Amino acid sequence: MEAAAEPGNLAGVRNIILVLSGKGGVGKSTISTELALALRHQGKKVGILDVDLCGPSIPRMLRAQGKAVHQCDQGWVPVFVDQEQSISLMSVGFLLENPNEAVVWRGPKKHALIKQFVSDVAWGELDYLVVDTPPGTSDEHMATVEALRPYRPLGALVVTTPQAVSVGDVRRELTFCRKTGLQVIGVVENMSGFVCPHCADCTNVFSRGGGEELAQLAGVPFLGSVPLDPQLTRSLEEGRDFIQEFPKSTAYAALTSIAQKVLHRMPALHS
Amino acid sequence: MEEAPHGCPGADSAQAGRGASCQGCPNQRLCASGAGAAPDPAVEEIKEKMKTVKHRILVLSGKGGVGKSTFSAHLAYGLAEDGDTQVALLDIDICGPSIPKIMGLEGEQYMEDNLGVMSVGFLLSSPDDAVIWRGPKKNGMIKQFLRDVDWGDVDYLIVDTPPGTSDEHLSVVQYLAAAHIDGAVILTTPQEVALQDVRKEISFCHKVKLPIIGVVENMSGFICPKCKKESQIFPPTTGGAEAMCQDLKIPLLGKVPLDPLIGKSCDKGQSFFIEAPDSPATAAYKSIIQRLPGAAFDSEYKPREGQREDCGFVADLCLPQVDGSDSSLSPHWSLQPGIMLWLGAINIPQKRP
C-alpha cells in the first residue's frame, strides 16, 4: 500500500477485482456474482461491493433483497448472503425504502456514497473483494478507482459480448483502465452462443469472436467465453447458487475456468 | 464550473452554498445568494431551437443492453421510410455512443435526405478514445447538442439515452422542460433483473412528470433457426413486461423476438428492416413504430394515486436497524445509525464517544 493511505476497513482485504464494461447488459453483475460463488467454492472468503447505484442487481442475484444494513464500531456491516458468512455484500439496494424507487442522483452525490462504501464498510478479512460497476466511464468509475487506488493488488476484469457494438464500447473501457493505471486481469466474453435446448444446435445470437479479438487488440489475456445458459439466467433470477446446483450446465465449465484463471493471476496471499 | 466539490448539494438545492462541503468552493457565494437556483438561460434558448421540431421522443431503460440504441435507430429508419417525414436522432450516451456504429456512420454525420444523426461518437477521433467525464461536463455536452445543433425542420426528434437515472436523464428532461417532450418509450427484456431496473426508470418518469408512451419488451423469445422451436433465453420469471405494465397501468407497445440477424445488422451498420424484411422481429418493430406517432400525441403525464408530489429527486434510504425491540438504545450501539438523504447532501450522524 502507498505510505500515505490509511488501511482502515480494507486492511484485511487481500485482492480487489473491479468488474467493468463500457457496455450495459453484457453480464457484469452476472460475472461478479458467479465469480464470487466460484471463489467461495474454492474455499475463499469473498466480499461483493455493488457500486451500480441506479441499477443495483446483486442483492436479488444472491437472494439477499430486503436485508438490512447494520452499524458497528468500524462502520456499516456488509450483508452476509449465506449462513456460513463466506460471502458479504454491500449495495445501495439495501438502503432503499422501496425497491422501485429510482436513485436519481447527479455525479457528486454518487461519488460521495461510493467513497463511503469503500471506506466505511467493515469488510473484515477477505481473500477477494469483487466490485461490480455500472456501464460507462464516468462518476462511479472515477470515484471507485480513486477510492481503491491506495490498495493493492487491484485488477480489472473486463466483460463484453461478442458483437462489434459491444466491443466498440469496451475498447473505450480498456482506455479508461490504461489512463487510470488499472491493471487488466483479462477479458471475459459473455453470451457466447446459445445451445437450443430442443435440438442442441448452437446459434451465435449476439454474433461471434469479438471478445478474443478485443483481448488481442488490447494486448490483455482472454479469460474465456461464457455461453447463454437458461439455467444460469434462472439461477440469477431466483438467487440460487448456480455453481453448486448446476455443475453439468453449459456455463459451469466456462465460469469455473475463469475463476481458476483469476485465482492464478491475482497474487493471492494464502493463509 | 466543470468540477463540483465532493458532496456538492447541487446549485439548485436549498442547501446550495450553505452545506459543509461548500466551504472553499469558488462558487459558494454565488450559490448562497440563490443565483444558482435561477433557471438556466439555455432552457429558453433550447425552447426556441425546438420550435422547428414537431415531436420529441425519449428512448429510455433503467437497464443496460436491452436494445435502446437498436430500437432508436430502427425507429428512426421506420419513421424516415416516408420520404416526407423529417427525422432526427440524437444519441446522448456520452460514454458509450453506439448509434454511429449501429447506423454505419462511423466517420460521417450524413444519412439520408430526411434522416439526420448526432452523437458524441462523431467527435471522437479514434475508436479507442474514452470519454471519461463527470456529470457536469456530460451535461454541458447535452446542452450543446440541444441548443447548438442546427436541427432544422424536423417532424420527430428521437433521443437515445444511456441506461440509468442520472445526469444525462436529468439534463435532457430539464433542458427540454420548456420545449415539452411528447413522451418516453421504455425498453426492457423479459427477465426480472431487467424489470427491477425498469420499474425505477418508470418511477423516474413519474418524478419528473415525463409522460410514458409505453413499454417495448425486447428479446422476447428465440426461434431456433434449425428446428424452429421457441426457447426463452431471458425467461419472464415474474410475468415479463406484460405483468409489469398491467400492474403499473402503462401501455405495452409490443414484444420483439430475439433474431440473431439483428445483432449482425447492427454490427454491419445496416438497417435490420433491409437485411431481414421477413423476420418476425421486423414485423414486430414495424407494428410498434406504427403505433407510436398516434400514441405520442395521446400520451400525457398522469400522476399515480397516492404518489407524493413533493419528493423531488430525493430517494429515501432505509435506516440501519438497531438491535432490541424497545425504543432505548442498546449499549452496544452508539448514536442511532442512520442515513438521511437531503436534497443533494448525505448526512451521516456522528458517533457519540
- Report the alpha-carbon distance of residue A31 to residue B45 in Å, rounded: 45
Q: What is the pLDDT of residue B95?
A: 87
* Residues of B in Cβ contact (< 8 Å) with A197: 231
Instruction: Using alpha carbons, list the distances in angstroms from residue A153 to A2, B32, B145.
Output: 11, 43, 41
pLDDT tens digits along A93-114: 998 888 888 888 888 888 899 9
> What is the least distance, in Å, from the CA of B94 to any CA of chain A?
9
Beta-strand pair A70-72/A75-77 = antiparallel
Q: Which residue, among B302, B311, B1, has the nearest Cα to B140 in the 3D structure?
A: B1
Angle, nearest 10°, between helix axes A107-119 and B135-148?
A: 160
Which triple of cell numbers denotes residue B199?
420499474
Q: Which residue, among A271, A255, A2, A262, has the nearest Cα to A152 in the 3D structure?
A: A2
Distance from chain centroid for Cα A120: 20
Which triple of cell numbers denotes residue A168?
466498440
Kindly determine whether residue A172 and residue B225, on different chains, have CB atoms separated by under 8 Å.
no
DSSP state of B290: H
Which has more pLDDT, B173 or B15?
B173
- Report the alpha-carbon distance of residue B312 to residue A162 in Å, rounded: 40
3-state secondary structure (DSSP) of residue A183: strand
Kindly determine whether residue A234 and residue B237, on different chains, have CB atoms separated by under 8 Å.
yes
Q: What is the pLDDT of residue B234?
A: 92
Q: Any idea which of A41-45, A51-55, A167-171, B290-294 has the lowest mean pLDDT?
A: B290-294
Q: Which residue, among A174, A195, A233, A178, has the nearest Cα to A23 in the 3D structure?
A: A174
Alpha helices in chain A, H assignment, sequence order: 28-41, 58-61, 107-119, 139-148, 164-179, 210-218, 230-238, 242-245, 250-265
* Residues of A in Cβ contact (< 8 Å) with B20: none
- Evaluate if residue B339 carries a pLDDT over 60: no
Kindly determine whether residue A54 and residue B337, on different chains, have CB atoms separated by under 8 Å.
no
Q: What is the pLDDT of residue A76?
A: 92
Interface of A with B in 11-70 (CB under 8 A): 22-26, 29, 54-55, 57, 60-61, 68-70
Q: What is the pLDDT of residue B302?
A: 55
Kindly determine whether residue A230 and residue B199, on different chains, have CB atoms separated by under 8 Å.
no
In the block, residue with C-alpha cell 454491500: A90
- Pick the most confident of B85-99, B300-314, B320-334: B85-99
User: CB-based contact (8 Å) between A128 and chain B?
Assistant: no
Q: pLDDT band at residue B136, thresholds of 50, 70 and 90?
A: confident
Q: Any idea which of B17-26, B42-51, B226-235, B309-318 has the lowest mean pLDDT?
A: B309-318
Kindly determine whether residue B163 and residue A55, on different chains, have CB atoms separated by under 8 Å.
yes
- Evaluate if residue A71 carries a pLDDT over 80: yes
- Report the alpha-carbon distance of residue A42 to residue A126 in Å, rounded: 13
Yes or no: say if B53 and B149 are a contact pair by the CB < 8 Å rule.
no
Q: pLDDT band at residue B314, thresholds of 50, 70 and 90?
A: very low
Which among A25, A55, A164 has CB closest to B101?
A164
Its pTM stands at: 0.83
Please give the angle made by the CA atoms of B166, B169 and B170, to the nearest 5 degrees.
80
- Report the alpha-carbon distance of residue B275 to residue A163 in Å, rounded: 17
- Evaluate if residue B330 carries a pLDDT over 50: no
* Residues of B in Cβ contact (< 8 Å) with A99: 196, 199
Q: DSSP readout, B52-118?
A: GEEEEEEEE-SSTTSSHHHHHHHHHHHHHTSTT--EEEEE--SSS--HHHHTT-TT----BTTEEEE
pLDDT tens digits along A187-234: 999 999 998 888 888 899 988 889 999 999 999 999 999 999 989 999
Give percent above pLDDT 70 in chain A: 96
- Evaluate if residue B221 carries a pLDDT over 70: yes
Yes or no: say if A69 and A79 are a contact pair by the CB < 8 Å rule.
yes
| Mutation target vs A (from B160, B197, B262, B343; most A CBs, 10 A cutoff) | B197
User: CB-based contact (8 Å) between B334 and chain A?
Assistant: yes
Q: What is the pLDDT of residue B177?
A: 84
User: CB-based contact (8 Å) between B231 and chain A?
Assistant: yes
Report the run of H or E that residue B160 belongs to, with start and end. strand B154-160
Q: pLDDT band at residue B321, thresholds of 50, 70 and 90?
A: very low
> What is the least distance, in Å, from the CA of A141 to any CA of chain B?
9
- Evaluate if residue B351 carries a pLDDT over 50: no
- Evaluate if residue B337 carries a pLDDT over 70: no
DSSP state of A8: G
Q: What is the pLDDT of residue B313?
A: 36
- Evaluate if residue B331 carries a pLDDT over 80: no
For residue A135, give the chain B residue with the closest CA.
B64
Q: pLDDT band at residue B92, thresholds of 50, 70 and 90?
A: very high
DSSP state of B50: G
User: CB-based contact (8 Å) between B300 and chain A?
Assistant: no
ipTM higher than the 0.95 cut:
no
Q: Any idea which of A22-31, B205-214, B286-295 has the lowest mean pLDDT?
A: B286-295
Give percent above pLDDT 90 in chain B: 42
- Report the alpha-carbon distance of residue B194 to residue A245 in Å, rounded: 23
Which triple of cell numbers denotes residue A271?
493463509
* Residues of A in Cβ contact (< 8 Å) with B351: 73
Q: pLDDT band at residue B24, thresholds of 50, 70 and 90?
A: low
Q: Any idea which of B25-34, B71-80, B195-204 has the lowest mean pLDDT?
A: B25-34
Average pLDDT over residues A228-246: 93
User: CB-based contact (8 Å) between A192 and chain B?
Assistant: no
- Evaluate if residue B15 carries a pLDDT over 90: no
